Amino acid sequence: DQQVKQNSPSLSVQEGRISILNCDYTNSMFDYFLWYKKYPAEGPTFLISISSIKDKNEDGRFTVFLNKSAKHLSLHIVPSQPGDSAVYFCAASVEGGSEKLVFGKGTKLTVNP
Amino acid sequence: DSGVTQTPKHLITATGQRVTLRCSPRSGDLSVYWYQQSLDQGLQFLIQYYNGEERAKGNILERFSAQQFPDLHSELNLSSLELGDSALYFCASSHDNYGYTFGSGTRLTVV
C-alpha cells in the first residue's frame, strides 16, 4: 500500500518555463512533507519542506504548495533550468515523531535547453 | 560531500553469497536509516537505528540484518543473495525527524 504517490514517472519542460511536480498521500497522520532531488550516481539531497500548518513555502525558484483537504502537494520550479533535470522524490512523515520518512517512487524531470 | 559515507560504492557478487554494506553517519547524527531503491521503484525503507538500538523496521527481508555500533556507524548485512536483491542501497542519517542526509549509495549487482 503506497502511502505517498507520485503518479507521473516523468516530466519534460522547456528551459525558462514552469515545472510542476505532483504528489498525493493517503495517510492523514502525515503532517510534514519534503521534496528531495536525486542526480544519477548520487544520493537524494533535500530540496524544500513544508509543515501542515502552512499551505505554501517558497525558497528561491522552488515553491511547495500543500492542499490538506485533497491530501495533495506540488512542487513548482520557476524558471526551470537544465541543471534541474533530476529525479524528484516526495516524502512525508509525522512531525516530531519517530517514524521514518515515506517516499514516493519519484518523477524524472527533464528540462530541455 | 553530504557527510554520510557509504562503502563500497559498487559491489558485484554471486547468488547465494553474503555481503556487508557500511555507513558512517554525519557527525552528530544519532539516527541511521537504510533504504533500497530497485529499478522503477521508489526508496523502500528497510530499517532505522537510533543510538545503537533498532527504532523501526520496514520491508526488510529475513535474509537481511543490520546493526549500529557504539561509534554510530552502521552495517547492513545481506545474505543468501538472489538476483532480485540487485539494487541501490542508501544510508541516511538525521539529527531529528525533519529530514535526512543521504549517502551516495552502494550499487549491488548480484549475478
Residues written for chain B: 111
User: Is B98's Cβ below 8 Å from some Cβ in A?
Assistant: yes
The helix or strand, by DSSP H or E, that contains position B10, with its residue range, turns out to be: strand B10-13
**A15-55 pLDDT tens trace:** 999 999 999 999 998 989 999 999 988 899 999 999 999 99
Cell of B64: 537481511
Which residues, numbered 57 to 86 in chain B, qualify as contacts with chain A under a Cβ-Cβ cut-off of 8 Å? 58
The answer to whether residue A98 scores a pLDDT higher than 60 is: no
* Closest in A4, A43, A93 to B97, CB measured: A93
Quickly state the pLDDT bin for A69 (edges 50, 70, 90): very high
Cell of A54: 502552512
Quickly state the pLDDT bin for A100 (edges 50, 70, 90): confident
Type of residue at B69: F
What is residue B11's three-state secondary structure?
strand
Q: Which residues of B touch A99 (CB under 8 A)?
A: 56, 97
Residue B95 makes CB contacts below 8 A (sequence gap 6+) with B26, B28, B29, B30, B31
Cα–Cα distances in angstroms (integers) from residue A86 to residues A43, A61, A66, A109, in the given order: 11, 15, 22, 5
d(CA B19, CA A33): 34
Cell of B15: 547468488
Classify residue A53 as exposed, middle or buried by CB count within 10 Å of its CB (0-12, 13-18, 19+): exposed
* Closest in B42, B50, B90 to A105, CB measured: B42
Quickly state the pLDDT bin for B29 (edges 50, 70, 90): very high
